[in-house]
Structure 1
Amino acid sequence: MKEESSSTPFYHGTKADLSPGDHITPGYRSNYGQRREAKYVYFTATLDAAICGAELAQGTGPESIYLVEATGPYEDDPNLTDKKFPGNPTQSYRTAHPLKVVGKVELWQGHSPEQLQTMKEHLQRLKEQGIEAIEE
Structure 2
Amino acid sequence: MNIKFDPNNDVIKLCMSGMALESSGNIEEAITMFYKAWQEATDDYDRFISAYYLASQQKSITDKLKWMETSLQCALNIDDENVRSAYSTLYLNIAKCYEELCDSANAKRNYELSDSYKGAPFDEGPFYHGTKADLQVGDLLTAGGNSNYKPGLKMNHIYFTANVNGAGLAATLAKGEGRERVYIIEPTGEFENDPNVTDKKFPGNLTRSYRSQEPLRIIGEETEWANLTTTERREWREKLAKNKGEIIN
Q: Which TM bucket (shorter chain)?
A: 0.7 to 0.9
Distance 1:67 1:81 in 2: 22
Letter in 2 for 1:80: V
Letter in 2 for 1:88: N
Per-residue CA distance 1:72-110 (angstroms, 9 max, x = gap): 110110101132332111000001110000000123341
Which runs of 5 or more structure 2 residues have no equivalent in the other structure? 1-118
User: Quick check: 2:165–2:225 contact (8 Å CA) kept in 1?
Assistant: no
> Per chain length, whose mean CA-contact separation is higher, i.e. which structure has more relative contact order (CA < 8 Å, sep 6+)?
1
Match of 1:98?
Answer: 215
Higher normalized strand content (fraction of residues): 1
Match of 1:10?
Answer: 127
Per-residue CA distance 1:28-77 (angstroms, 9 max, x = gap): 11111124111000000011110110000001111100000001110110
User: Quick check: 2:159–2:209 contact (8 Å CA) kept in 1?
Assistant: yes
Distance 1:64 1:46 in 2: 14
Distance 2:201 2:195 in 1: 9
Letter in 1 for 2:241: Q
Q: Relative to structure 1, is the Cα distance of residues 68 and 125 closer, same or farther in structure 2, using a 3 angstrom cutoff?
A: same
Distance 1:34 1:88 in 2: 25
Match of 1:63?
Answer: 180
Tell me if 1:112 matches 2:225.
no
| Match for residue 43 of structure 1 among 152, 160, 166 | 160
Distance 1:103 1:6 in 2: 19
User: Quick check: 2:140–2:217 contact (8 Å CA) kept in 1?
Assistant: yes
Tell me if 1:125 matches 2:242.
yes
Match of 1:135?
Answer: 248
Match of 2:114?
Answer: none
Letter in 2 for 1:20: V
Letter in 2 for 1:78: P
How many residues are matched?
131
2:196 alignment partner, SS class: helix
Distance 1:64 1:97 in 2: 21
User: CA offset at residue 19 of structure 1?
Assistant: 0.6
Higher normalized helix content (fraction of residues): 2
Letter in 1 for 2:245: I
TM score, norm. by length of structure 2: 0.50
Distance 1:85 1:42 in 2: 19
Percent identity between the two aligned chains: 43
Distance 1:35 1:60 in 2: 18
Match of 1:30?
Answer: 147
TM score, norm. by length of structure 1: 0.88
Distance 2:223 2:179 in 1: 12
